[in-house]
Structure 1
């Protein structure tokens, strides 16, 4: 990373990470799991402490995931476009450096938020809730326990499983957020650009279900809690397609940079 780009990334991070934004992100990380916990704590049977963690990530977060990560940072670039801020920036630094710094900051922040949205509930479910003893665990008594994808990693230990899985969610969050910001940079209609990652997510789920390949659904490969355990390689299929889409968008923006920004 060049010195100019490194400096600009630091500048953009300082602009983005304000006390107000930290409060909003903290509320996002804590409020959704709290609401979900209050809704499920007495309405399900839990055989393992891990079941609580899986249930905490089975409603709000999987449904809203692309919207949440896209709005972490990309929305602020929309504000700069509307305020015609970019022409003034070009006087100080190259346009490519400025836009790439935005993408880097977007990737960092969306990764962290997506990671913490899963890792904080994991810590609560596995280490804090047992001390509070709010949820009652029932003995299996021969009842089959529905093991889910990524539980193959439990042989490494509970905490490594939680960290690796949270990193996976963070990585996917970063990719969806990158798609959103690239589309905002390319398209002239911000609302449409911000909506496309969510539509891509929903369409991917719809197509895989229609074709009978739910194991490759964008939702189930990130939040595989409503499907039986699948081989770990299956999660990389939609992720690879997502990476290809982002690479294409990145090359398009690079080749048409001056077309879109004069």
Structure 2
């Protein structure tokens, strides 16, 4: 698709690549001061920390950031002279979803491959399961019950890595969808881009105040490393809530397309 190709400029690819290297550099600096029991520990170490805090911000900036500039600079006025507004928004919506999914899938799966298949052969880490009172045998069983989604390790590490990377990518795409509709609806582009992150952070804080809701916090549904292992279905509850919001926003945009056409 031409729209996706346009979003994959050399400049953007370089920026995304440099951002992706952040967890790698942090791992290189900290690897000798941390005891890793196995490859899964390396993988989760690089994905926890600051990433869960800025996840939604990054997801909305992959494509929606440039799309908001098109709206702000009235670039869409010239584009929709050649193509109906509904079709143009659909093309950009698909490009936004696929691009964001692709970026976060590559990011997550790349770190999975590095952690599971590259770190040990390069001798970057000496695993210490004994520090956790585990052996080389029991650490495998321990990994199956360590975090939500690691249940999938029983079906092979590649199965876990692929499906979990898809999960991260899909969640990133859903947040980007919400941001996409908000920049169309709200005139203030700064607030439109900020709302998904505020919903993600403040919503998680509110749910953390109630023990019955704590297991459904937004960050834990994507990066479940700070909470006990839960059934995989629990991670789908926050996602379902986000999809409902996304559907409502899409319905609103579709019903108010004529009014929106005068604003874009």
Structures share a fold, TM > 0.5? yes
Q: Which consecutive residues of structure 1, in runs of 5 or more, have no partner in the other structure? A: 1-9
Q: Does 1:23 align with 2:22?
A: no
Give the RMSD, CA atoms, in angstroms.
1.5
Kindly tell me: are residues 85 and 227 of structure 1, through their superposed partners in 2, closer, same or farther at Cα, counting changes over 3 Å?
same
Q: Is the 8 A contact 2:120 2:126 kept in 1?
A: no
Looking at structure 1, the residues matched to 202 and 29 of structure 2 have their Cα atoms a distance apart, in angstroms, of: 28
Name whichever of 152-161 and 74-83 sits farther off: 74-83
Name whichever of 139-148 and 149-158 sits farther off: 139-148
Q: 1:46: Cα distance to partner?
A: 1.2
Who is 1:12 aligned against?
3
Q: 1:140: Cα distance to partner?
A: 3.1
| Of 87, 110, 131, the match for 2:77 | 87
Listed as ranges, the matches of 1:1-262 within 5 Å are 10-29=1-20, 31-140=21-130, 143=133, 147-212=146-211, 213-262=213-262
Alpha-carbon deviations, 1:17-57, whole Å to 9, x = none?
Answer: 1111221222222x222133134312321111111111111
Looking at structure 1, the residues matched to 131 and 186 of structure 2 have their Cα atoms a distance apart, in angstroms, of: 57
Looking at structure 2, the residues matched to 105 and 150 of structure 1 have their Cα atoms a distance apart, in angstroms, of: 28
Looking at structure 2, the residues matched to 228 and 42 of structure 1 have their Cα atoms a distance apart, in angstroms, of: 26
Task: Tell me the secondary structure at the aligned position of residue 130 of structure 1.
Answer: coil
Number of residue-to-residue matches in the alignment? 252
Task: Tell me the secondary structure at the aligned position of residue 100 of structure 2.
Answer: helix
Looking at structure 1, the residues matched to 157 and 59 of structure 2 have their Cα atoms a distance apart, in angstroms, of: 26
Looking at structure 2, the residues matched to 99 and 205 of structure 1 have their Cα atoms a distance apart, in angstroms, of: 31
Name whichever of 108-117 and 78-87 sits farther off: 78-87
Alpha-carbon deviations, 1:93-149, whole Å to 9, x = none?
Answer: 100111111110000110011112211111111101011111121133763757111
Task: Tell me the secondary structure at the aligned position of residue 194 of structure 1.
Answer: helix
Name whichever of 60-69 and 131-140 sits farther off: 131-140
Looking at structure 1, the residues matched to 156 and 195 of structure 2 have their Cα atoms a distance apart, in angstroms, of: 38
Q: Is the 8 A contact 1:208 1:214 kept in 2?
A: yes
